[in-house]
A = this chain, B = another copy of it.
């Protein structure tokens, strides 16, 4: 039992670690270029012990880890917890990989529209962390949005994640701008172009057709190629905001809580405002630390 603990957000491309107090106050923070995608099979435990702990002078602290470190590519494959899942159930599903070292399970759900299962690993800690940061959020219904490579939209009711759905928006943006005919070499960020993309997203349908306008507007002479990337970003985020909440089978319940990297969250807030949806932005790093601390406190009980 310890007043301090090691909090790790160990994702595909990066590892972010803190020494924090049990109430979630960060004392030390350090990033490591140890993303799960770069780990050799079976070496996660060793690199945690020989690199992460010594670098933080935290050889003895208990540790709570979330993210893709709980996947087949990470330390070990931690079984998903099934939705609906309360914070208490997530707590009870912590997976011990060593004395005082726990991995947070990801969540699995069946999509409300019948299109199959959906999964997350890491975002659950941010979403519950957001809720655990304020007792008022542990009652009532909320729509949470976590932008990113694989954006997540989740329905939170009385501190229980009832269901969620993923949109591959961030990954589509990355591969389209790098590998497709939409690639341009002179991109500059432009808010007007982003807004034109939001407008072109329409109801979010026919995406494969709408995407092509990021090229046809350029070769057709109605947009400079420098704007194509911001336009593409607006189009993809606009289509997600227009079409994804309906897959949860709910109306939007009050302001949406957007949780994640602040600059990206602001783009989502702008897309929601464009559609008349009220939203508030919350920092994802604060949320993940709050979630890891709440889970750590549970291990002390």
* Residues of chain A at the chain B interface (Cβ within 8 Å): 71, 80, 108, 111, 113, 115-119, 149-150, 165-169, 171-172, 175-176, 178-181, 200, 202-213, 216-217, 219-222, 236, 239-240, 243-244, 246-247
Contacts and interface: CB of A to CB of B under 8 A. Distances in A.
11 contacts: A111-B213, A116-B217, A150-B181, A150-B212, A167-B206, A168-B208, A168-B211, A169-B208, A171-B180, A206-B247, A207-B239
A211 to B, nearest CB: 5
A165 B175 CA distance: 22
B115 A210 contact: yes
A168 B180 contact: yes
Q: Which 6 residue pairs spanning A and B have beta carbons closest together?
A: A117-B220, A206-B243, A207-B207, A205-B205, A167-B208, A166-B212
Contact of A209 (B176, B220, B247): B247
Given A166-B212, A168-B211, A203 B200 contact: no
A108 B218 CA distance: 12
A221 B216 CA distance: 40
Contacts of A80: 220
Contacts of A115: 200, 202, 209-210, 213
How many copies the complex holds: the figure is 2
A240 B206 CA distance: 7
A62 B171 CA distance: 48
A258 to B, nearest CB: 17
A206 B204 contact: yes
A273 B123 CA distance: 40
Given A71-B219, A207-B207, A207-B208, 5 more contacts: A117-B217, A119-B216, A166-B216, A167-B212, A208-B240
Contacts of A222: 116-117
Contacts of A210: 115
Nearest to A200: B115
A194 to B, nearest CB: 15
Chain B CB count within 10 A is highest, among A115, A206, A207, A222, for A206
Given A117-B216, A168-B180, A220-B117, A205 B208 contact: no
A246 B219 CA distance: 24
A111 B209 CA distance: 11
Given A116-B200, A213-B118, A217-B116, A208 B247 contact: no
Contacts of A247: 206, 209
A247 B209 CA distance: 9
Nearest to A179: B175
Contacts of A169: 208
A126 B94 CA distance: 60
A209 B175 contact: no
